Every structure is written in C-alpha cells, then in structure tokens.
A and B are shown apart, each in its own frame.
Chain A
Amino acid sequence: MLANGQFGYAALSSSEPAALKAAAERALALAKGASERAVAKFGTELRPATVLRYETARKNRAAYGADILSRHAVRLTEAMKVSDKIVQASAGFETRDIVTQIVSTAGADIEQYAHIIGLGVQAIARDGNVTQKRTLNGPRGRTLQGGYELIDFERSLAEAKVAAEQAVELLSAQDCPTGKADLVLAPDQMMLQIHESVGHPLELDRILGDERNYAGSTFVKLSDIGTLRYGSDLMNISFDPNVAGEPASYGADDIGNPAKKEFIVKDGILVRALGSLESQARSGKSGVANQRAQDWFRAPIDRMANLNLEPGKDSFEAIIASVEKGVFMEANRSWSIDDYRNKFQFGCEYGRLIEKGKLGKTVRNPNYRGVSATFWNNLFKVGDRSTFQIYGTPNCGKGEPNQVVTVGHASPVCAFRDVEIFGGEG
C-alpha cells in the first residue's frame, strides 16, 4: 500500500478475502504511521503498469520422477568411490518451479514462471591428517535456469568421477606457494570474484547506506558513477537478465520494472550502479531493473541478478602462455570481504602452477587476497567466448529482514597481475 509517499506491506499466505482485506488495512496503517518519518517520498510511477509474461526457455519440460533422480544420485556417489581415501561422496538434484504473479492498482499484470535445475556433487578425500574437497564448480555453482535437458546423466557421472579423482590427487599435491604471482581464474571462481568485489559494492542501496547495519557499505560513492576507473580497459561488466540458462533471468523485477541489458562497467569505467526505481528516485542516478524479493514474505530491495563479465579476445591457451610465473585456480571454497568491499580473501578447491607459459603441477589449498579496485585494475587478460561459462548461486544473502536470492554470474577465464597468493598451514 502507498500512502503519503510511503509504502507499507503485509505478507500472508491465505487467499481468504477477509484476511487479505484486513492485511491491506494494516499495511495502509503502517504506511500512514511512517509517512512523517519516511526516508523519501515515493509515487505510483515507481510501480510501472507493465503487462508481460515470462517463462524460462526449456527444451525438455517433462519432469523426471523422484525414482529416477534418487537412483541417479546414488549412481553419482558410487562413481565417486574411486579410492578408499574417499570418506564422503554426496550428490543431489534440485528442481524448483517458481511462479510469481504481480498485479497493481497502477495496472501491472505480470506472470513469471522460472524453472531452476541444480546439481550438487561433493567428494571428500582423506589421507592421514590431510583432507581435501572437490565439487562441481563450487557449492551449488551448478544452479541454472532451464528444462530437464540440463540433467545429463552420463556426463554428470564422468564429471563426478573426475571430481573424486582430483580430491584424491590433491591429498599428495604440494601446497600453493606463498608470494606475489600472476593469477588465472576459471569462470567458476570468477563467479565469486564478480559477485563480491563488483556486484555488492555497486548496489545502489548500499551506496545510499541502507545496508550499513548488516551486510555493510561500499567504497563506491554516488559521485563515482560515470568517472571511477574500476578496472583495466579490458573490464566490461553487464547486468543482463536475458542470458539463456543463467539462473537470475526474468522479464521484470518484483516491482514491475521491465528488465533489459545494461552495462555497469564499460572499458574499466563505472557507468551505472545496480539501483532499482526506488533507489534511482532517491539518488538521481540511472540504474537497472533489480528490485527483487526472496519470496512472498519479504519486501523487494536492490539485488544483483545476472551480472556478467563480457568475453574478451584470448583463448585459454593464449592466456596461460602469457604467464611467466603464476597459478591457475578453479572452484570457490572460501570467501570473505570487508564491509566496504575492499579487502578480500578467497580460496579455491584446485590449483595448477603456471611456469613459463605452461600449466604445471597441481597445488592444494590455493588462496589469494587483495583489494577490489586494485585487483581489477590488474586485469590483463580476458578470455574469449570459448572460455565463457555460466554459473549461479541460490545463496546470496542481504537485507534487513534478511533475504536470500538466486543470482547468476557468467564469465570467461581471466588473468590478473601481481596477486598475493598463499596456501594452507601444516
């Protein structure tokens, strides 16, 4: 409900008309009670009269039953038992059909049908005091939007076996060396790098201070939009809700703003923040269609959706060949960044040394740390479309009350100069 420029909401899971009416009256009372102390005065123009229907593009619409999926999950765990050193082999499928309908007195009538398919595989190997873990592209990284064509039984069996073999391989690998080196990141780690050090700092509600009591603020200021050199010339970041298969694709956000592709960072310069219509009204800055809610029981706020790094020109082989001394890291396993989104430390599951332009020995416990803008300004190679991969996570947390949403991140392989790398302990 909107009253005197202030929104008030009420959430319930009943379709009883009397309950709905009473809830609307309470939302109206809350809005009126808060309007004298509103952070901004909003109008109906922030709830566009959009009429659309969105549905995930799918090839295979017919669902597999619990019998087929459970049987295959068991087969995946059996495929991972490649050694008596495997102490955990776990696998699971996730299928979600999410129906959202938005209507408003302003004229919006939006129906969205999102179909999510996820595959989770994890192998843990142990030898003496050393344990190592390998997954398929990090925790729940294989969360995609699409039909049942995304479940490829034979391919996943082969991938699960490789994951387990690599977990065992890591047991006897040397620790990642310590020092400054060039860092090459696979798309399943670039996902996390984009998410934490580009996506969150550029959420307009963080720039406006809404998140300071919980997720935190940002080093980016309103005055930086249009001028800040965020990264090297090779850095091109887009907000793109229209990438087939990417998990946070949609037709409109949860206040009815039609979604379209926008560049956020162009040739290394910050050109636009991730701000919804409400944040745009408060800041006077342009933004994107990203006011999203976790579910019916939370009010929408500024979120990432699909946030991608555009492909560059180099093949994987050319990127590796350009590195004299470095490490190639795959699949996120540890993530931490400060509340201004500057000082980060990330860890990966699997690493390979790069020496004189060639991939070398496997290393375990590969970690790196840095400061966001410095790191992105050291971006010196961006892979071509052949290296571009799509991932996502259903676990992006933010907001008060807390909300968790699905986000997508697609990226090519990338290389960064002079990064502080290190390994484990003992």
Chain B
Amino acid sequence: MMAAVAARELADGEVVFVGIGLPNLACNLARATHAPRLVLIYESGAVGAVPERLPVSIGDPALVTGSLMVCGMADVFQCLLQNGRIEVGFLGGAQVDRYGNINTTVIGPYARPTVRLPGSGGAAEIAIHAQRTLIVAKLGRRAFPERVDFVTSPGQRPEGRTRRELRMPGAGPVKIITDKAILEPDEETGEMVLAALYPGVSVPDVQAGVGWSLRSRPRPTPVAPPTAQQLRLLREVLDPKRLFLRQ
C-alpha cells in the first residue's frame, strides 16, 4: 500500500533521487505504470537506472547495466543535487517529528547513544536540496515523537525557523506517506497534519501512532487502494521474494 501510494506521487519525466527499500519499489512501480520516463538517480552514481532485478543495496550492479550515465559521487552531490537537478527526494528514518524533521543518527544523546543508527548518508543534503521530498515511514509512537532526538534531515521548521530563513533551496517534505494515512505540512505553521486516510482507517487509529496532538485538514480525503495491476506488479514482478513488501 505504501509503495503504491508513493508511486502515485511521481509524475512522468521527473528526476527522482531513489533510496533503497520501499522508495525503490515505488519508483520502479511508477516506471512500470504511469511514468515510463521517470529518471531514477541513485546516490551511488547511477543515473537513469533501469534495474532488471530488485536492487538489494543502493550500489547494486544492476543499477549500472543499461543506465544512461554512471558518474562519481562528487558529481552526484555537486553537479546533480547541489545544482538543483533533483525534483523529488525520498527519505525515511527511525524518527520523524511534528515538523517533518528526520532522525537517522542516534536515539538518546549523541555522546552516549542508546541506539546508534547509521547516520546521514546523503539524507541531510537530499532534505536540503531536492525540490520536494516524500517521507515514507510506518506510524508508531516511537517513530513519530513530538521532537526527534537528533535532526539529521531538516523538515519544515528546523530550529523553529522557516526553510527560507535558513536558505534551504528545496521545499522540504511535502508528504509523509505512512501505513495508515498521509500527513502534509500546514501552509502557515509547517506542522504535519492529517491530510488523507487509507480505507478502513479512523482518525484515532492515526493519532495512536503519533506522539503529538495531531491536527487534521477540515476533511481528510480518502486514499484509493492499490489497483489490481499495481498489486500484481509489486508482488509478482518487482518484489517476488517480498524483501521489502513485508516491511
């Protein structure tokens, strides 16, 4: 469901910075359906990748074979990302907060972490530079605290200031795609609010997985379930071993 919902957010011909896991499924689903000319860019340097198998990692050799260009990572970050060429960036993380800030660094204090997470990778700069970002994360009280323990990827109001004040080129997270609902930033405050509900999900169901008092759009829109074609592609073609669909 999350992969199918995320796929709908991508328009044909857009340039997408792809992460591994569900974002990768979403991008390849979009490419196989409504967006055949989607340009997939992986931070490993594969541009216009057309993976014939589901990549296990972001540096999978299948991303190279048949791609439009392979460049070094200095080119990826300077000539593509900082240059403003990336239209959509996908992000996920252990914690996402009220303003769409993401933590993939540590749970607990930095110097004495309870859990050491992998760190930024390219996520800090993707959050800053991509023209818009989509966050994909499952709801849960621990995953959606009021404030993240560490801001790895800035959302709509890092340090209480707007992205414009901080001179960030990109618009930041425009949607958080969860397993129950879609959240979007309030235009005035930058706070993430309930925008759309999956079939059979109630507002209290969503609130139960969010660690702050969740506000809602006047009338949350219903999210259409995945089509039969999307499900067939996801289950039979893109991820037959359910490497990522289970998550």
A and B assemble together: no
